[in-house]
Amino acid sequence: MTDPTPRRRALLSAYDKTGIVELATALSDLGWELVSSGGTAKVIAEAGLEVTPTSELTGFGDMLGHRVVTLHPMVHGGILADRDDASHQADLTEHGITPIDLVAVNLYPFTSDPSVELLDIGGPTMVRAAAKNHEFVTVLVDPADYEPVLAELRNDGDVSATTRRRLARDAFAHTAAYDSAIVEWFDRGADGGPGELPDRGVLPPTIHLSAARAAELRYGENPHQHGARYSFSGDSCWDSATQHGGKEMSFLNVYDADAAWRLVWSLGEKDPAAVVIKHANPCGVAVADDITTAYQRAHACDPVSAFGGIVAVNRNVTHEMATELAPVFTEVLIAPGFDDDALLVLLEKRNLRVIEAVAPEVPSLDVRSIDGGLLVQNADSVTIDRDAWQVATDRSPTEAEWVDLELAWKVAARVTSNTIVLVKDGQAVGIGAGQQNRRDAGRIAADKADGRAKGGACASDAFFPFRDGLDAAAEAGATAVIQPGGSIRDEEVIAAANEAGMAMVFTGERHFKH
């Protein structure tokens, strides 16, 4: 161990006191001098350790309701001094400043209750100063790093340059995330921020994304790619999810399961609902009086595509549903809960990932990467409003048709465009997804329905450019159609619907999804 003379100095100022007494004790045992402020100094002193309050360094007590505590050259000169620069050393000597070798700081929990008084100033300033001078100073912002740093001090007498650089990187990431949360608060304006901002468009003028790696994934989109899940807030449905069994999740497992989870909850909570997803698109959707029937009907939409799919349900999985699903090769089953006897059945399937999660939040922004930047839009939301919709045909839908139209419209909004969705009695019976033309999407949906759409509803995510799409829906057996409208050939399409005795509703809103 290196000679502890002159004594090294650590500055400890932590809002989260987890592990702070243990850190202070270990540093003291190693011969370090402790400097601290406010509540941290009190906690350390109560543990029987010698600690110098920052007020003794600065000559000032806490000021302005604790807004000014450590903002002083006696503190920041000690943190920022370049030990190899003779002029820096001269300044320290002239002003009687002692170098600070370790800074352990964490910040006011701004996101817990955003307000001006929780905007930390002194904390981020010390963190950034220490991180800038990481060649000489160790900066700690995460209690999880206390023990590894102490281990290096005990074993080697110092903290390695590699560790100091890693901790400096983490410190700047910490303050960046903190600032990102503050910017988001300002952007919320009247909806929870500090007040209305000047109107600079619906979307914010800048976007500050800060996400922490929350989970390593089995692999990326393909096995040769690395994959990980990152979290913006740390409190999403994925952060709190429990995996009861099965292999590790891959990139596509999470991507598809998220699509399934969002879709099943977008159908509403009134009725038990089940969704089967394959390659981010639904290949089965159904609502029913019980969750087992809902799953059976969702699977029946397209059993071939359901092989190796993702299943999401909005009710606890029962033993009956588990026994129905068990014989089907399924990658992921995600639900709000599982009955104990259902888990016994499901956990026998070693490859089935069994996920328990809370309902997902509705995102405010949809962000996608492009070369050198991002494409950003406000997230698409589906409005179900019969009063706002227009019945374009001579005949209005029956109540049963209305119910199927609403379900078909919700599903169509979550299927890759171009899409046609056929629904009958609360069950999707045919889904044509991601086609370059609407006619092919309709043909695929009709082929999959195989006569089951008779008397049901057809949804198109965008308008029919020609009457052939409407004719195809009629040939599939649909008696009601829902679409945005807005084509220059709307009158032609309306006429075709009237000829077939169909009811057609215009929503005035398109739901492309790419």
Active site residues: 132, 279
CA distances, 344 to each of 30, 60, 354, 393 (Å)? 53, 65, 11, 53
Instruction: At 336, list the tokens.
Output: 């709000």
- Distance in Å from the first CA to the final CA of the chain: 61
For the chain, the residue count is 514
CB atoms within 10 A of CB 439: 19
Bridge partners, residue 353, by sequence = 332
**DSSP secondary structure string, 382-429?**
----TTTSEE-SSSPPPHHHHHHHHHHHHHHTTSPSS-EEEEETTEEE
DSSP β-bridge partners for residue 11: 35, 103
Q: Which of 151, 184, 189 minimizes the C-alpha distance to 27?
A: 151
User: In this structure, is the dihedral angle defined by the CA atoms of residues 97, 103, 109 and 111, taken in order, positive or negative?
Assistant: positive
Residues linked to residue 104 through DSSP beta bridges, in sequence order: 12, 140
Strands 457-460 and 420-424, bridge-based pairing: antiparallel
Phi, psi of 230 (to 5 degrees): -110, 150
Residue partners of 194: CB distance under 8 A and separation at least 6: 116, 185, 186
**CA angle (283 as vertex; 279, 287 as ends), nearest 5:** 130
